[in-house]
Amino acid sequence: MEPANQFPHDFLWGAASAAYQIEGAPHADGKGPSIWDTFAKIPGKTKNGTNGDVAVDHYHRYHEDVALMGQLGLKAYRFSIAWSRIIPDGDGAVNEAGLQFYADLIADLKAHGVEPVVTLYHWDLPQALQDKYGGWESRKVVDAFAKYCRVVFERLGSAVKYWVTFNEQNVFTALGYRWASHPPNVKDIKRMYAANHVVNLANATAINLFHELVPGGKIGPSFGYGEVYPATSNPADVLAAVNANQFNNDWWMDVYCRGTYPVKIMRTLQSLNIAPEVTAADDQLLKSAHPDFIGLNYYHGGTVEAPTHHTPTTTKQLTNIDPYLMAGDAENGLSPEKLLFHSVENPDLEKTAFGWEIDPVGFRVAFRQLYEKYQLPILVTENGLGALDQLTEDHQVHDDYRIKYLQQHLLALKGALDDGVPVLGYCAWSFTDLLSWLNGYDKRYGFVYVDRNDTDAKDLARYPKDSYYWYQKVIASDGETLQD
């Protein structure tokens, strides 16, 4: 047993990425188009029309990137597989060249002592499945996803221990089907809940298939979680926070870990005629799948007051769409939040340059709540700071603000370990700078600066930031330097 004041010696000090945001090469070696290849070309949908055609060209430069991971001392690297590289039309012939790319990447990672953590779906559905079936609104896509999973499990399962099924299902379903900020560019909350249910069926199917084919491996979903606080000690606000946590978190996590939807939220959705249809067979499938761990993506939580609050408040009402806290009106006027809670700003928290609250204590709260509810190990699959980094003339990036952010959150993680929560590892978002889905290339998260901007890919040169060398020392010391 590790001493209480240390990180476990097998702790997975990692970093993360997603295929569309880094790979580029959208047509290389037989790859088919994804819904993001299509959506990003719609005028006005992304900042300055940015897209992933080049991204940071990881597809052609992965050897260079993995070498930098090795120099950093990284213990784990979480990345996603582009489904349409493996099966270009989503459910037809397998593309051997696409499989070989990921096999080669995994081999290179392992040669550098880096544990691969593979995400099966990070938002880039093959466009052909969107065109043929209507994407995640069709149960036929569950079968197509199972076929894809079988291919990669059989080919790569012996080399990869840790797998993630879906990345932030709460985000891609809401932004894709309610707010039309992501593909498939829909504004219909009833369709959102219907598609979300189909994704739940695909998740359960993949987990069961994995346990059949890769008995020594570990698999779980990766969820964008943040605890929601009451704005005051008013009991009505406390009840609103209970509602908000069930609406924003438990609606997904209960299904993943227990196979059931929260009763209160289901009743609310049914009262609005927007609840998904759940058959007896669906119920049986959802209950049959048991994840091995919870993947936690943490950036921030939220604060709410009662929806019928009439007393004066000093907190500011949130009006912007936030991917981690649903708030606002749907296009058709149906807004279950209005029955459950009102989101407000938290006056006790600072914000990033992009308006996200910074709450490292909330990170510890998230660990505690998730573990007490579901009794599963937790792997941090994303946590990081998006910022407007500046490259100096001598190719340095002095990102002390990122170091402060990561240090605060890792100390909170250490607190959760001390509390008794089993945390497998920490994959910071992200390893290199990458394409922000909607915010182009100026919003940077990486330990490694990539020299490009929204309009010019330049030479895509890689330059380690100050945070890279800081994290290198943290990893080498098993976290002891976090106290420095």
Residues identified as active-site: 382
Nearby residues of 335 by Cβ (< 8 Å), 6 or more positions away:
189, 328, 329
Six-digit token string for 118? 């593979």
273's torsion region: left (phi>0), alpha (psi -120 to 50) or beta?
Answer: left
CA distance 79 to 56: 14
CA distance 414 to 420: 10
SS3 for 393? coil
Q: Which amino acid is at 103?
A: A
38's torsion region: left (phi>0), alpha (psi -120 to 50) or beta?
Answer: alpha
CA distance 99 to 109: 16
Rounded to the nearest 10°, the torsion over CA 20, 26, 31, 35 is 60
Six-digit token string for 93? 């012939």
Six-digit token string for 57? 């060209």
Backbone angles phi, psi at 82, to 5 degrees: -80, 110
Six-digit token string for 305? 């007051």
CA distance 59 to 398: 28
CA distance 363 to 147: 36
Q: Among residues 283, 230, 225, 279, which one has the least CA distance to residue 253?
A: 225
CA distance 482 to 316: 35
420: number of Cβ within 10 Å = 11
What distance lies between CA 262 and its chain's CA centroid? 22
CA distance 187 to 51: 22
Contact assessment for residue 225 and residue 366, using Cβ atoms and an 8 Å cutoff: yes
